[in-house]
Chain A
């Protein structure tokens, strides 16, 4: 076997110009194949992160504001907060918090304007993969501030004149009463989000909200391990129902994307691209077979000489087959390297998945698929010439 490899490598070396030219198509096809799989993985990660920004990371359970089954009234916010604290403590949930929405007006240099507020807990940032362009997301210490902390959108920050966050820039919020708030972070530009928006912590919102706004009942989110999500979902529901007493409709649901059972929207594009890459690979293989067949016919004498010096028929078969495989594996490696360079390039990544939070390495499966495809093409393309080579009659070959 080692001898056959040595022989195949020597053949490849001697005919490298011809072989490399014939392998160009295979290398390009493998690059396309691996590239499509690699780009698909990155695009999928980008899509996953986008979905997690909306619905939270798997598994996110949501306790909706319970309502009285008779009167339809919502539960008392303070009573529900106590229930939340009790659940978090009992199940040692590290990432959890209430979410509600409100609004306030911010004083800009050219007048006040309304800003949509999302009232959250510090854990919300990790749970929803909130990205920060400038400054930082809330920390637990921000809850102790006398001036509420704000994370504002890019539009708000620019309208304020892009102040340096290191200087702790402040704005006046007009809610129930004017309040000075400190901007601690700025969100990246997002064309799909409201341009004038900001996040504020629950404690900060209490300082600016009217009593009616403060009385609105938040929903509570819990980021829990995926494998015990179903059990916890039922436990949290039972715990809340038990704490609130009879007559309350308590609803706990999964809201992360994994619970939606949606299909991958990129799947059709990926299938089309894979089919195109497969077609290129097939054409490359056909040209390879063609060239290999012509070459074997030209090498009849050489095969005869090798047979005369002790090469068995299986050995000749293996050597001719390996020649093809060695060559296509090299083409495959080149193709995969090309795919890695392209897929990892900042330009391509920025185009496919701008703002990707978790850096996705080039997927090993993409490299593996490329190499396996190249090897398979090499074996298939080598099969026919190898069969021709075995049928060479030694005597005729030497006289050829």
Chain B
């Protein structure tokens, strides 16, 4: 059973003049556990809108989204919020770390919405995750004292602390230089491989997109498959010495 599937999904918005703007049209997509997909597209092609649908942040105008065997319409309100918190991890282009909080506090944020063991052991879990992404020495640094690469690694740690089954990365290297971006992508790939989570990367950078096993192109709201690529080599152990 697919972890996430979209069937004939459309998303449109109403314009001030009363007309409708179709952002996504007839999207069909199936994501299995452990998949690594990339979606490329120019600005305004509907990438972020698609990401919001995939991340259970938005509902389609028509079509069907099934997450973990449950249609989205059956996951309403707080149930959907809880499912998102439990199963989906986000990595944003602008990192979106909470200002004024340390790397550790930022990484702990999703665990505040977890229950039981995860909540009570949140500090330990977040510390372990930050150590995994090579930031064990920056636990108590606030975002303004971290470089762009370090901030994105904190964001990756935050996305992973609850052990999500789906990681959504929205232009994860958009705010980084080429070298740092490649290192962050390698880390994201490694961590998701190691955890068995599906990774969907939305990017406009073809080189980043090429790192995925399945690639798609979003053009004027239509999702098209690109040529398949050779399966990537199995991931090695995590390297903490990633350039910042």
A→B interface (CB under 8 Å): 2-3, 6-7, 10, 14-15, 301-302, 305-315, 394-395, 398-399
Interface of chain B, helix or strand or loop or mixed?
helix
Q: Contact: A14 with B100, CB < 8 Å?
A: yes
Instruction: Indicate whether B112 reaches chain A with its CB closer than 8 angstroms.
Output: yes
Q: How far is the CB of A396 from chain B (nearest CB, A)?
A: 10
Q: Contact: A309 with B109, CB < 8 Å?
A: yes
Q: Contact: A307 with B100, CB < 8 Å?
A: no
Given contacts A10-B101, A312-B78, A314-B78, A399 and B112 within 8 Å (CB-CB): no
Instruction: Indicate whether B41 reaches chain A with its CB closer than 8 angstroms.
Output: no
Q: How far is the CA of A315 from the CA of B114 in the complex (A)?
A: 12
Q: Could you give, for residues 28-61 of chain B, a 1 whenever the CB lies within 8 Å of some chain A CB and a 0 otherwise?
A: 0000000000000000000010001001011000
Q: Contact: B84 with A305, CB < 8 Å?
A: no
Query: Which one of A3, A6, A398 lies within 8 Å of B92 (CB-CB)?
Result: A398
Q: Which residues on B sit within 8 Å (CB–CB) of A315?
A: 81, 113
Q: Which residues on B sit within 8 Å (CB–CB) of A308?
A: 55, 57, 84, 90
Q: Which residues on B sit within 8 Å (CB–CB) of A314?
A: 78
Q: Contact: B81 with A312, CB < 8 Å?
A: yes
Q: Which residues on B sit within 8 Å (CB–CB) of A312?
A: 77-78, 81-82, 113
Q: Contact: A6 with B96, CB < 8 Å?
A: no
Count of A-B residue pairs with CB < 8 Å? 63
B→A interface (CB under 8 Å): 48, 52, 55, 57-58, 77-78, 81-82, 84-86, 90, 92, 96, 98-101, 105, 109-110, 112-114, 119, 158, 162
Q: How far is the CB of B148 from chain A (nearest CB, A)?
A: 18
Q: Contact: B81 with A395, CB < 8 Å?
A: no
Q: Contact: B48 with A306, CB < 8 Å?
A: no
Q: Which residues on A sit within 8 Å (CB–CB) of B113?
A: 3, 306, 309-312, 315
Q: Which residues on A sit within 8 Å (CB–CB) of B52?
A: 395
The 3 A-B pairs of least Cβ separation, nearest first, read A310-B85, A310-B113, A309-B110
Q: Contact: A313 with B96, CB < 8 Å?
A: no
Nearest residue in A to B97 (C-beta to C-beta)? A305
Interface centre among B86, B112, B162, by most A CB within 10 Å?
Answer: B112
Query: Which one of A6, A302, A311 lies within 8 Å of B81 (CB-CB)?
Result: A311
Q: Contact: A3 with B57, CB < 8 Å?
A: no
Q: How far is the CB of A25 from chain B (nearest CB, A)?
A: 24
